[in-house]
Amino acid sequence: MTFRLGLTGSIGMGKSTTARLFADAGCDVWDADAAVHRLYSQGGAAVEPMRAAFPEAIIKGEVSRAALKEIIARDSSALSRIESIVHPMVAADRAAFIEQSRSDIVVLDIPLLFETGGNTRVDAVAVVTTDPDTQRSRVLERGTMTDEQFETILSKQVPDAEKRARADYVIVTDTLEHARAQVQDVIADIRKRLADA
């Protein structure tokens, strides 16, 4: 049996680093953002369906996320149409990954796990967290968004406190060593659950 662990957390909480720690420990890790990137790239499965729905979103043979943002800003109904095209493809990519995995634990790195109801399709959920000041400084240090954009993204995500309350495991990413130790504890607990099943 393959155990499906959903990994999530708000922006700037250290989810990508934590996903790498799971991979380093021998778990297979599926990345939702990377799957969307593959689908949107030249030759990706989403390019032609998106071209049919939003021709102006296709730039140099691939789906432009910047163009999609502009389309959504102009037309609030566009988001649900985009999701109706992309979500089934992402789900198929995830299912194929799980099917091919030879690891006893598959980590599904899904930023909007709770927001999209993905928590109902996994065996347990791990939430990464840190204090709000660290979160804000991590995001703004990237230099890819303004304080205002950060606040907008936060407002659309399930609050951190609620995510932690709904999680089976909480991983505090204050230091790399602490995060690594918690990842090891999560893996050990899951393997014990699998052995006892």
For residue 193, what pLDDT is reported? Answer: 93
Start-to-end CA distance of the chain, whole Å, equals: 10
- Domains annotated for the chain, with CATH where assigned, are 1-27+105-197 (3.40.50.300), 33-102 (3.40.50.300)
Query: Which run of H or of E encompasses 108?
Result: strand 105-109
Checking if the pLDDT of 155 tops 90, the result is: no
CB 8 within 8 A of CB 15: yes
Residue range 62-96, pLDDT digits in tens: 999 999 989 998 998 999 999 999 999 999 999 99
Checking if the pLDDT of 167 tops 80, the result is: yes
Q: What is the mean pLDDT of residues 173-178?
A: 96
Residue range 89-137, pLDDT digits in tens: 999 999 999 999 999 999 999 999 998 899 999 999 999 999 999 999 9
